[in-house]
A and B are shown apart, each in its own frame.
Chain A
Amino acid sequence: MKLLIAFLAGLLMSVGMAISKMIDPQKVLAFLDLSGDWDPSLALVMAGALAVYSVGYRLFIHKPAPLFDKQFYLPTARYIDKPLLIGAAVFGLGWGMVGYCPGPAISALSSGSSGTLGFVLAMVAGWFVARKLKIS
C-alpha cells in the first residue's frame, strides 16, 4: 500500500506538471523572464498547489500518524542559515538558465530527449558533489 500511495503521489504531481505545462521549460522561462512577453501562468500553478496543500495540511497534521506509517516525518531545521540562502540562489540561477527545476526535468525523462537526460545527470552529479562539499 505504501508503494502504491508513493507511486500515485508522484503520478499526480507529474500529471499536474504536464497539464499546467510546467514540464515545458519554455513555459517556465516565459514566467521567469520579465523582459519579454510575460506569462503569469506559473504563479497560478503555485497558487493552485498551495491552496490544496495548505488546507489539507491543516486538516491532517493534528492526527497522531499518517494512514500507512507510524509517524509524520517533518523537517526539523528552524533557522534561515547560509547553506539555505546560498543553495537557493545557486538553484535559482540554474533554474532561470534552462527553465528546469528537478520535478519537470525528471518527469520529462520519458520524452527520451538527450538534453533532458544530460540535465538530470548533471543535477545528480551536483547532488553528489554537494554531499562532499558542504557549506558551513
Chain B
Amino acid sequence: MENFTPVSALIGGALIGLGTLLLLVGLGRIAGISGITSTLLFQKEDKLWRLAFVLGLVAGPLLTTLFYKDFSYSTPELSPFTLAAGLLVGLGTAWGSGCTSGHGVCGIGRFSPRSLAATLVFMLFGVLAASLLF
C-alpha cells in the first residue's frame, strides 16, 4: 500500500461531495455525470445548465494546474481495447441509469436501495475485470 494517499483522497472526495451538494441545493438536481452529459447530447430539454456543468468538469484539471504546479496524470493509449471499454461504460451507465457520481455518491448519499445495489454490482465487476486482466 505504498501508493496510499489518504489526505488528498479525503480532501478531493469532500470537494466532489460539495459539488454534488451544490447542484442539489442550487438547482434541485442529482449530479449524475453520465445522465447529465447524455441528456445534453441526446435530448432537447434544459440544455444550458447541463452544458455549463460539463464545461465545469472539463475546466477542473486546468484550474488545478494553476494551483498545483507538478499536477500530472496518466491517460490511456488509443487502442481497440480502450474503445471497447468506453463503449461498455456508455452502454452500462445508460442501461443502469447512472455511474459512480449518480449512484455511488448521490444515490447512496440519499440511501437509495437501487443505487446501493448498482454500486455494489459495478464495484464487483470493476474489481473482477481489473484483478483478472492486470
C-alpha spacing A2/B56, complex, angstroms: 13
Residues in B whose Cβ lies below 8 Å from that of A42? 9
C-alpha spacing A108/B38, complex, angstroms: 17
Contact A96 B42 (CB under 8 A): no
Residues in B whose Cβ lies below 8 Å from that of A73? 28-30
Complex: chain B residue closest to A24, CB-CB? B73
What are the 4 tightest A-B residue pairs by CB atom distance, in nearest-first order? A126-B90, A14-B60, A48-B13, A20-B12
Known interface pairs A39-B4, A54-B111, A75-B114; 11 further A-B residue pairs with C-beta atoms within 8 A, sorted by A's residue number: A9-B31, A9-B56, A13-B60, A14-B56, A14-B60, A40-B4, A46-B13, A46-B104, A67-B25, A88-B122, A102-B93
> Footprint of B on A, CB under 8 Å?
2-27, 29-30, 32-42, 44-54, 56-57, 60-61, 65-69, 71-75, 77-80, 83-103, 105-111, 113-131, 134-135
> Footprint of A on B, CB under 8 Å?
1-6, 8-31, 33-34, 37-38, 41-42, 48-50, 52-64, 68, 71, 73-79, 81-97, 99-101, 103-114, 117-119, 121-134
Question: What are 15 of the A-B contact pairs (CB < 8 Å)?
Answer: A9-B19, A13-B15, A16-B12, A32-B129, A36-B134, A53-B105, A75-B114, A77-B97, A83-B96, A87-B91, A89-B121, A94-B89, A95-B122, A95-B129, A119-B82
